Structure 1
Amino acid sequence: MPEPDQRLFFLLQRAAHQLRTASDRRLLATAGITTAQLGALFAVRDEPGITQQGLAHTLGLRESAVTGLVGRLTAAGLVVKRAHPREHRAVVLELTDDGAAALDAAQPEVERFNAEARALLGEDEFTRTAAAMRALAYWESP
């Protein structure tokens, strides 16, 4: 019997793709948003007045990628840009009522997704996996 695949980077990439594809399909059907948009909406909701630069940092994306993401969110009426109170070239992002409604619509699907992952992995392994993913998400490789 062959050894289980130990190529962690490959497995993480494959798992991320599989999860994002399934999550996008489900979120689009229930809330009309993608996984990336969901993450951005959570960040805007959780940190009122976040800047695009702050959003890029929170999401671990380049500012150029966040510019496009924010453009799509504003075009969809899910967030609005307001002038930054102290920095004339910066804008702050605020969740609209439609953005809050999209988060509300997505919440049952997020809970269902987590329940399915818990059933697949078991509660202890789910907790360990979540902790490992948090550690890897904020790991600073030398």
Structure 2
Amino acid sequence: MAEPDQRLYFLLQRAAHQLRTTVDRRCLAVAGVTTAQLGALFAVQDQPGLTQQELARILGLRESAVTALVGRLTAAGLLLKQAHPREHRAVVLELTEDGAAALRAGQPEIDRLNAELRTLLGDDGFVRTAGALHRLAHWET
């Protein structure tokens, strides 16, 4: 039997692509948003009034990417942009009712995905993988 592929970065890229395309398709079907959009909506729900710059930091994206993402979510009526109370060039983000409804619609699909991954990896493997991915996501070289 051949030894499993040990190219970790390559495997992470493939796994991320597989998960993103599968879950995007499922979230679009039930909530009308992608996983990236859900991530932004969850961040705004967790921290109402955060700025686009703060959202970029939370999501680990460039500000230009977040500007486009927020533009799409605002155009779809899922987020509101309002003037920042102290910084004249900044805006704060608020979830709309439609944005909250998209989160409610998407949450069961995210829960289903996590249950499927827990079954695939086993309870111990799920916890260990989540811990390892958390460390990688916050790794600074």
TM-score higher than 0.5 here?
Answer: yes
Q: Counterpart of 2:113?
A: 113
Per-residue CA deviation, residues 52-91 of structure 1 (Å, 9 max, x unaligned), is: 0000000000000001000000000000000001000000
In the alignment, structure 2 segments of 5+ residues that lack a partner are: none
- Superposed CA RMSD in Å reads 0.6
Supply the AA of the counterpart residue of 1:80: L
Query: Which residue identity does 1:109 align to in structure 2?
Result: E
Aligned counterpart, 1:103:
103
Matches within 5 A, 1:67-78: 67-78=67-78
1:60 aligns with 2:60: yes
Partner of 2:85: 85
Cα displacement (A) at 1:4: 1.1
1:3: Cα distance to partner? 2.0
What residue number does 1:13 align with?
13
Q: Which runs of 4+ in 1 moved over 6 A?
A: none
Give TM-score scaled by structure 1 length. Answer: 0.98
Aligned counterpart, 1:139? 139
- Aligned residue pairs total 141
Q: Secondary structure at the match of 2:27?
A: helix
2:79 counterpart letter in structure 1: V
Unaligned runs of 5+ in 1: none
Please, what TM-score do these two structures have when normalized by structure 2?
Answer: 0.98
Counterpart AA for 1:111: D
Secondary structure of the corresponding residue to residue 3 of structure 1: coil
SS at match of 2:80: strand
SS at match of 2:49: coil
User: In 2, Cα distance between the equivalents of 1:81 and 1:3?
Assistant: 52
Deviations 1:85-105 (A, max 9, x none): 100000000000000000000
